[in-house]
Amino acid sequence: MPIGGVIFITLFIAAFGTSLIYLARWTGGKAKKTSQAKFDVYECGLPVEEKKDTKISVKFYLTAILFILFDIEIIFMYPWAVNFRHFLATGSGLLVFGSMMVFLLIFIFGLWWEIKSKALEWD
């Protein structure tokens, strides 16, 4: 793409984005402050009791990291399962099956380690 095309696209995107922002401001109006209660955080009807020295448990972060880890591993299994017939037809089915078994062994070992180390226990 010539440099003129890049400059044109950049200017078009900047102008279009700016016009959308002004259009949204013009048609949207302004929010009215009716009361302070409307702007407070709602958490099950209980008033907020957060202090500056509130510490969040590491268990929350560990749970999130383990969920993401195992979720990504499951996502890697889906395309393999969808394309496995194609691999069998091309003759590389045994190699692909073996590599998935190694992946599953690592996955199962990780799950076993997570259960054995009681990583998700909330004592």
3-state secondary structure of 2: coil
CA gap 65, 60 in Å, rounded: 9
Band (46; pLDDT cuts 50, 70, 90): low
CATH top-level class of 3-116: mainly alpha
Q: Is-above-0.85 flag for pTM?
A: no
User: What are the tens digits of pLDDT across the range 47-106?
Assistant: 666 666 667 777 888 888 888 988 888 898 899 889 999 999 999 989 999 999 999 999
Return all residues near 96 (Cβ < 8 A) that are at least 6 apart.
Answer: 80, 84, 87
Residues 61 and 55: their CA atoms lie apart, in Å, by 12
Q: Where are the domains of the chain?
A: 3-116
